[in-house]
Structure 1
Amino acid sequence: MHLYFQYLLIFFTYINYHVQKSMAFTSCEISALTVNYVNQCPEDSKSWQLAARKMNCEGIEEGCQQGIRADNHQFVFQYHCVINVWGNATLEVCAFNRTILGYCAEFNIVGSVIQDNYYADCTKHDPPCPSVYNSAEAYKYISCYELVQQNRRKTNTISSAKRTCGNLPTTFISILFRFIFGKVFHI
């Protein structure tokens, strides 16, 4: 049993090392400067490629690839259209692609990195996303974009309820005023 825990510790140390290494190599500060909020992301390969051409991520001098190219050829600075961290907006961004593990892909502006949104497990959506996919293929999993629409509807409903309830005391006082003083002054 003791040997089992040693192997487990070695395994998690190995995984942790590679995750941290991947995170360090896929963050690029220039990405935050390319963010463009959009009402809707492309939902098929053709429109994705058209949007990618317009954004021209390959033409951006980002200065982050030297360490990546020397160590790993799998990361590419390219077009993405993903949800934001709060899941209430969609945005286009030039960023390094990432392997996403069963969650919706998001862009973290503070970290300047594409990452998993751990509040949006898309393997449970209908249709589900795979447990592993490339962030540059986020358009294949439109249920993640639909989360943004759902969150916007919730926000609008809450805002509407606040406006209605916010006016309730004023309306009540106005009715009370008319009832009490209307009889005296015949308003």
Structure 2
Amino acid sequence: MKFLSIQDSYQIVIILLNISEVNVSDEKICVTEIEIVSSCPVTEQEYNEAARRKHCSSMKSTCTNQVEQLEYHCLPNAWGDKLYEMCSTDKVIIGNSCAEYNERGQRIQPNYERKCNGVNFGVKCPFKYFANKSYLYPGCLTLSHETTSKSPGKENSTNSHPVPIDDNDLPFFVVYPFATLLIGLVLVAIIYCIWKR
């Protein structure tokens, strides 16, 4: 019994690899001037004041081949226990998810674990929005551990290198592509075995 041709199997593998590639090699996001802060702006006026203070609009991206304007962002980390403000190229957030700053990857990304469209959320976010507009969704900017103590000297300190984090939890954008690739390889092996019979 012939299940799929070899050509069909190769096409499946290529599609799976392309899916993995899309998730791994997301567009280059330039993040700089990273600081830990005690709160983020939750109104347009507060956002504009913070953006003027940080001077992001006067900076240009040097992380990509294209010259892009940097914009002010203020976001929680993936665990929701710290808030960071930074200058960054903008990132589209999809999936009715809050935006987060990934400390290890030094990138802005959706937090798929923290949906911002639930009944108890307050101002709900749309399916797709830009991360610099996170101030419109204040529920995304609350700390999950309000009693988290700050280390002396850490608040408002500028970091130009990755912030060390616990290795126990791998970020979603790392696990998903490799899981997809592994599943794809297992499927190809099964299809190959069936085809050989």
TM-score normalised by length of structure 2: 0.58
Task: State the shift of 1:128 in Å.
Answer: 1.7
Runs of 4+ in 1 over 4 A off after TM superposition: 6-21
If you compute each CA radius of gyration, which structure gives the higher value, 1 or 2? 1
Q: Which whole-Å CA distance do the structure 1 matches of 2:37 and 2:85 have between them?
A: 7
Mapped to 2, the partners of 1:7 and 1:37 lie a distance apart of 46
| Partners of 2:108 and 2:18 in 1: CA distance | 22
Q: RMSD across aligned C-alpha pairs, in angstroms?
A: 3.1
Counterpart of 1:81 in structure 2: which amino acid? Answer: C
1:35 is displaced (CA, Å) by: 1.4
Q: Secondary structure at the match of 2:124?
A: coil
Tell me, in whole angstroms, the C-alpha distance in 2 between the residues paired with 1:36 and 1:135.
17
The gaps in structure 2 that reach 5 residues or longer are: 5-9, 150-197
Aligned partners of 1:96 and 1:114 also within 8 Å: no
Secondary structure in structure 2 of the residue aligned to 1:152 = coil
* Structure 2 equivalent of residue 81 of structure 1: 74
Aligned residue for 1:58, secondary structure, equals helix
TM-score by length of 1: 0.61
Q: 1:6-85, aligned counterparts within 5 Å? A: 17-23=21-27, 25-26=28-29, 28=30, 31=32, 34-60=33-59, 62-66=61-65, 68=66, 76-85=69-78
Structure having greater relative contact order (Cα 8 Å, sep ≥ 6): 2
Q: CA deviation at 1:11?
A: 7.6
- 1:16: how far off? 5.3
Unaligned runs of 5+ in 1: 70-74, 157-187
The equivalent position to 1:91 in structure 2, one of 84, 93, 97, is 84
Structure 2 equivalent of residue 143 of structure 1: 139
Say which is worse superposed, 89-98 or 8-17, in terms of deviation. 8-17
Amino acid at match of 1:95: S
SS of the residue 1:151 aligns to: coil
Identify the match of residue 107 of structure 2 among 104, 113, 124.
Answer: 113
| CA distance in 2 between partners of 1:58 and 1:50 (Å) | 12
How far, CA to CA, are the matches of 1:15 and 1:76 in structure 2?
29
How much has 1:85 moved relative to structure 2?
1.9
Quote how far apart the aligned CAs of 1:50 are. 1.3
Query: Could you tell me which amino acid in structure 2 is paired with residue 127 of structure 1?
Result: V
